[in-house]
Amino acid sequence: MIGAYLSIDREDALRQAHEADARRAHGESLPLLGVPVGVKDLLNVQGQPCTCASRMLEGYRSPFDATVVARLRAAGAIIVGRLNMDEFAMGSSTENSAFQRTRNPWNTGCVPGGSSGGSAAAVAGDLAYASLGSDTGGSIRQPASHCGCVGFKPTYGRVSRYGAVGYASSLDQIGPITKDTRDAALFLNVLAGADPHDSTTIATPPPDYLSALGRDLRGLKLGLPDEYFIKGMDSEVENTIRAAVEQCRALGAEIVPVSLPQTEYAIATYYVVATAEASANLARFDGIRYGLRTSSDDVIDLYEKSRSQGFGPEVKRRLILGAFVLSSGYYDAYYLRAQKVRRWIRNGFDEAFTKCDALLTPTSPTTAFRFGEHLDDPLKMYLSDIFTATVNLAGITAISLPCGFSSLGLPIGLQVIGPALGEETILRVAHAYEQSTEWHKRRPNLAAQG
């Protein structure tokens, strides 16, 4: 019914489970021993498919484990299978998958969000204890918000990207989707840390993130940016977020107004930087070295046919845009200017964090929308990430957690944003709020939906 998984290796999952039982019987104690975990289909898992939900990579099997997958295995986790996503992580609804539709467990007529829609739907629908997703502009947090899960985007470089198929390399970050904040901290303990295979990882050893939990909010200043409460935002979302802010105030936090005027430029900046990097990253899929290869005696014709048949409409749209902004005559006008705005966005966050310890915002301006509702309007779809993309541009950290439901029974997510390497602070805030409410304990009733 949900369609979260693109592939499951049942035999191997059972083998891992029996092995975990034997290890437990012999007294082994590992943080994730026997825990079933799903993996977004852009992370390499040795011997399993890695298609990025694209015809371009149909039939490809991974020859190695991504670093995050290797760390899950070392912690005792069971890798269940590959989770659906928007093709090459380009989308906000998982409708861009070349293979199947993933449904939101809370309302199967609605999208799960994206691009890690399968990762969020699997956790919400009890098809995995937790999952891994990737977040380039909100692709962990937005689907977590739509599916009533906890989605964690670490600081850029805190978690290795080795073995992840790149979309926009300066923005991509791997992180967990879990049922609650304690599990998010537990998984971050396993995933975080330097990796010699990824030169962008941070050398500073990560702390024990579980130690950040269980503290109240007294002494913390939490910023509330006006720019995240915009015209056209769903009124139920706004009211629910403001109620969550008041709950944080009741827990002892001081709520302070902050300004992030750069926010309105985030989407335009993101779609210049991300598409430019995507056009470079996906150039390798040319019909010769990697991916789908069609038949032709002419090399240019081979390129054109392989890429036109291998990539879906949204990927083509972004690759064309990326090639355009990098082209001669337009580089300075678009890409270079976008990089300057990106620095301005980072400076804006730096200034805000001189006044507060973390920020409270909505994760998404709406709840999950119905299938097809935004497909004919790419700009409307892109605006789904208006509250999340700034975090990736700045390279900082954020978490989304459930804070209520709409009148139609759809989850609403609260986003807590922290400075670079501020994971402990946002986990402290998120856990304190979570433990004072019951939202994270709710589960969708799939049987009632037929």
Angstrom distances, CA of residue 334 to CA of 19, 264, 314: 53, 16, 20
Tokens of 29: 């104690």
Please identify every residue annotated as catalytic.
40, 115, 139
Peptide bond into 306 cis (omega under 30): no
Neighbours of 382 (CB within 10 A): 18
SS3 346: helix
SS (H, E, C) 379-409: HHHHHHHCCCHHHHHHCCEEEEEEEEECCCC
Strand partners, 411: 405
List b or e across 194-207, with b for residues whose CB sees 16 or more CB atoms inside 10 angstroms: bbeebeebbeeebe
236-242: long-range contacts at Cβ-Cβ below 8 A with a sequence spacing of 24 or more? 236/367, 236/406, 236/407, 236/412, 237/362, 237/364, 237/365, 237/366, 237/367, 237/406, 237/412, 238/362, 240/403, 240/404, 240/405, 240/406, 240/412, 241/360, 241/361, 241/362, 241/403, 241/412, 241/414
* Pairwise CA distance, residues 27 & 54, whole Å: 43
Torsion of CA 283, 286, 292, 297, to 10 degrees: 170
Tokens of 440: 């994270």
